[in-house]
Structure 1
Amino acid sequence: MAPGVRLVQKVSSTRTFAKIAPHLIPALDRVVHRLTRGKVLLSAQMLPGVILTSTGARSGLERRTPLACMPEEGGRSWILIGSNFGRTDHPAWTHNLLARPDAEVSWKGEDVPVTAHLLEGEERAAAWKAVLAFWPPYATYQARVEREIRLFRIVRR
């Protein structure tokens, strides 16, 4: 693993990062994504990322959220991790997907219609193991909170 990646993993595991990142990273990602017409996400320079377009659970309005993801083999599905940077509440986008699982992701400049499925039980356990191998700081996020971090598999429709 490159030294730069280890440094980012260490920094991303801190409580300070958890306080600042939720405000700064998505805002920067949205701007860069818009300016590059969907081809670049700043946060994706370390982790793969998508822009999730979901429908608000209560409002019914379109919501665009930059998210890190773990692509699965074959390019037809991804795992989305509702870590919320190790904050106590589930992120809003997870509530939206639970209420309305049909969504869209922008992946490498392509808009992809997807359906989300909350992972539970053995399916979640296997995915969580893969997620921790993919990005170990998620273990730190989980250790900080009492809630179980939600994992979703999103699949092309």
Structure 2
Amino acid sequence: MLRFLNRIATSRWASGPMRAMVPVDALLQRRTMGRLSIGRTVGLHSLLLTTTGARTGQPRQVPLFHVPYGRGFAVIDSNLGADNHPAWSVNLLRHPHATVVTLGKQLPVIARETQGHEREEIWQTILSVSPGYAAYDARCNRNLRIFHLQPAPDGRHTSSTRSPRPRQPTPG
């Protein structure tokens, strides 16, 4: 099933339906504290990321696929192969303190964009799980950002604690 999904999901025509599923997945993850997600039903790791808006300072939530990395998570800003970086990626560059919800747990994290050998190591791990990301990379005219979301050292963060405003999040 995952192999089939990787092939279909990366086609240009699938971008619309996939974007339409993002709010449903966000709601599902919010209601279940990340225990259930559309991605998890096909064997992918999934999380709900809350960032602080780069322009607004307001909390923003987006469901993302991830790969475990170190004690944290690695996420990629593929944006389904679109030429622009997704808002959550821009938000993390401006405000690296964020929150992850997954598997019934909420965890404050600090995001760091990866570079060099570390980025390549994570990229290869991502491709081993979901080779479709190579199609997104080939389709867009930008470098995909890969972030390492590490648990905040003191278990706290400085991003807003207000509830996120409902909006249509941008997928990975």
**Which structure 1 residue ranges, 4+ long, deviate > 3 Å from structure 2?**
none
Amino acid across the alignment from 2:40 = A
Deviation (angstroms), 1:120: 1.3
- Please say if 1:59 is aligned against 2:50: no
* Structure 2 CA distance for partners of 1:37 and 1:127, relative to 1, 3 Å: closer
1:32 matched to which residue of 2?
A: 28
Q: How far apart in 2 are the matches of 1:70 and 1:136?
A: 13
- Please say if 1:44 is aligned against 2:40: yes
Give the secondary-structure state (helix, strand or coil) at the position aligned to 1:154. Answer: strand
Structure 1 vs Structure 2 CA RMSD: 1.3
Give TM-score scaled by structure 2 length.
Answer: 0.83
Q: How far apart in 2 are the matches of 1:68 and 1:31?
A: 15
Gap regions ≥5 residues in structure 2: 153-172
Identity %: 34
- Please say if 1:106 is aligned against 2:101: yes
2:146 matched to which residue of 1?
A: 151
Aligned residue-pair number: 151
Amino acid across the alignment from 1:18 = S
* Higher RCO, Cα 8 Å, sep 6+: 2
- Please say if 1:80 is aligned against 2:75: yes
1:68 matched to which residue of 2?
A: 65
Amino acid across the alignment from 2:151 = R
Q: Deviations over 1:19-47 (max 9, x none)?
A: 3312x121111222233344211222221
Please state which structure has a larger fraction of its residues in helix.
Answer: 1
Q: How far apart in 2 are the matches of 1:61 and 1:153?
A: 22
